[in-house]
Amino acid sequence: MAGELDGTVALVTGASSGIGQASARILASRGASVSLVARRVDRLDALAREIDGDGGRALAIQADVTDQEQAIGAVQRTVGELERLDIVVNNAGVMLLGPLLDAPTQEWDRMIALNLGGLLYVAHASLPHLLAAAEQEPRRVADLVNISSVAGRVARLGSGVYNLTKHGVGAFSESARQEFARGHVRVSVVEPGAVDTELPTHLRESVREQMMKRFEGIEILHPEDIADAIAYIVTRPRRVAINELLVRPTEQTG
Ligand SMILES: NC(=O)c1ccc[n+]([C@@H]2O[C@H](COP(=O)([O-])OP(=O)(O)OC[C@H]3O[C@@H](n4cnc5c(N)ncnc54)[C@H](OP(=O)(O)O)[C@@H]3O)[C@@H](O)[C@H]2O)c1
């Protein structure tokens, strides 16, 4: 059966775990060749083997996207080896929560460097290729999907700098959407609620305990639920742009 994304190439950052890994799998299953970008290359190699084994095509690229040269290199290698770039899922991110007072400011630096800097470097390097793909068959449209968060819509006590970065992703995405609309590059922002991934494992112990309490007894999302939303966005007809998707667990109130 022909896949909806046959003949396209997708690059996914943060493909070594969580939402990125699930997104790469679903895009490959719809026919896209996928470029898998993250730092843990053993994980990327395993995922690439799995996708290849399932009849897809995947390329594992080790890169730290907070380094602009590595971000550019990942995009260039994708286009060099897979020959085009139709879809970018700008997903790599880190969430380091806690009170502002006495916060280790290296945590702020890490969030700003990755959630904003990395996302911008990948977007900047990708856009010329996305514009080119948007003029070509099979789709004559291209997609830049930026992963924000509920934290990009609602600011919460103890989440200030993460909120800052994710609100920034929303603002950047809307401005970019306007700039590239006529070029048929759709810029979308996805705002997940709580998803069962490695994200909270980077939190300091005391902060993690508090966060776990917040979601105690709630059935949180699976990475595949967000991957499904991303697949929905990138498989719409050329005339349809899903600008923003907010996806919470049913029981999540805030
Ligand atoms: N889980 C949630 O509840 C939730 C909710 C809202 C939004 N989000 C957002 O969803 C996105 C994905 O997070 P996740 O939940 O799937 O968490 P995750 O499992 O921790 O995945 C994060 C990914 O980012 C990659 N990464 C980290 N630093 C990187 C760097 N410098 N360069 C390249 N890749 C890097 C990691 O791979 P390596 O360590 O191998 O580099 C990993 O693959 C993030 O933007 C997050 O803010 C998550």
95 lines ligand 1 (CB under 6 A): yes
195 token code pair:
């998803």
Gap between the Cα atoms of 185 and 238, Å rounded:
10
pTM (predicted TM-score): 0.98
Segment 189-222, tens digit of pLDDT: 999 999 999 999 999 998 999 888 889 999 999 9
User: Cβ distance 108 to 117 under 8 Å?
Assistant: no
Closest ligand 1 atom to residue 43 Cα is 40
211 in contact with ligand 1, CB cutoff 6 A: no
Distances (CA, A) of 153 to 5, 164, 182: 30, 10, 26
CA gap 197, 169 in Å, rounded? 20
CB distance 26 to 231 below 8 Å: yes
State in Å: Cα 38 to ligand 1 middle: 9
Residue 74 near residue 35 (C-beta atoms within 8 A): yes
pLDDT, one tens digit per residue, over 159-187 is: 999 999 999 999 999 999 999 999 999 99
Average pLDDT over residues 104-109: 98
User: Which protein residue's CA is at the shortest distance from atom 41 of ligand 1?
Assistant: 39
Ligand 1 pocket: which of 12, 72, 91 to mutate (most atoms within 8 A of CB): 91
Closest C-alpha to ligand 1, atom 46: 93
| DSSP states of 101-155 | TT--HHHHHHHIIIIIIIHHHHHHHHHHHHHHHTTSTTTS-EEEEEE--GGGT--
Judge contact between 203 and 211, C-beta under 8 A.
yes
Which residues carry out catalysis? 162
Mean pLDDT of 230-250: 98
Candidate from 11, 12, 16 with most ligand 1 atoms within 8 A of CB, to mutate: 16
Query: E strands along the chain, which residues?
Result: 9-13, 33-38, 58-62, 87-90, 142-147, 185-192, 244-247
